[in-house]
Chains A and B, each alone.
Chain A
């Protein structure tokens, strides 16, 4: 339970319950990030390796229409843009991916590394 401060005391102590509608959001589970659009994601990865960038991008955009909150998919799109040397776009996509990462340190690290490479 997060600390609670009372005026004039400055001392934290736990409150018994939190109101129902203000629950903290969850973070993305690392082992569950591949969803129904996984086939499109895998196809995009293969196309990226083959340097078929436009096709890879189209495949990832399809994947994102289905799983728009998947930070890993946004990251993959950022990778494609980086490979196409569109660095500023790659950075923007990394920022988006990072905004969806929640507490997924792996995804945060991946994005920071790619952004560093793109700068």
Chain B
């Protein structure tokens, strides 16, 4: 491993890597959006996020393999199901067992992640499964790199989901209620907001975001029970980098991490390139735990 002399590449190669990093980053942003929403409102780090993504990926896969439903059409089924699952999980398990203490909540979500991951291993075995779609070889040629339609759909999806979340939070009554609970729980309770219901709805929306991510990822990623673990680490990094609770932060953080990962792979090699993600994670936690767009204290 040559640490001192990094290889030099033509600007086309570097630009190509950066552009493919944007597409990769949009995937990370999609996963991170739900995580940052849940953190922003409930102030909990949802360790089960990756496991929920994996579960949604299996749902998309089985809808396709058993009923022949296209992954993008599956959005109509998986997203509402994700909302219901998330709402039930928060009200039935997380809220009930964690007594409102942060460390306990973290551990409860870890327990749920262990259950879901091993449940999937028990039920579906460790075999990788992937949806096959007819359109995953066509796409747009950017000259320096090539993007297939599913990647472009994921990029568009991440922008749409960010915009939709922002509109929902700022333009609807439910969004205002969620913001109120996030800012001042006791005060929101006093003006008659059902806080437990809001927590459930928030977690449900977070899970619905995961479901959107699963549908958009299914054409390009194979799913196995360990699938979520990889993404959850990256999603934490994105959320911490962007600032916990910030949608724009999640989007920008996603792109930055995606680009950094691709350039890291280019310059440091496939394996060591991944160190850039852990390094960013550690450095941001140490030096700027509020992230790029986060608010101080919280």
Q: Do A and B originate from a single complex?
A: no
> A residues bordering B, Cβ < 8 Å?
none
> B residues bordering A, Cβ < 8 Å?
none
